[in-house]
Amino acid sequence: MTESIAMLYIAGGIMLGVGAAGAAIGIGILGARFLEGIARQPEMLGMLRTQFFIVMGLVDALPIIAIAIGLYVLFAVVGGAG
């Protein structure tokens, strides 16, 4: 195995790991702030829930794209070279 293929495996693995960790941290912080907002103003539940799901989708989009690119690197680029 050449060094370039080994580096592609490492890059793909890092992209998968960082993508998953980033999504977990981002949604965890978002959920904590959502619960904090509901605890402070329970009457705002409807509006906060709507905003929560919109922002959660935006926060989750980038890690999903990173995971897709990481899988592409692992299976298409490295698989075709090896």
The yes-or-no answer on residue 69 being catalytic is no
Q: Among the options 26, 60, 69, 74, which is catalytic?
A: 60
Distances (CA, A) of 47 to 17, 38, 53: 33, 10, 10
Distances (CA, A) of 43 to 20, 30, 36, 53, 82: 33, 19, 13, 18, 59
What beta strand segments (E) does 1-82 contain? none
Which residues are marked as active site? 60
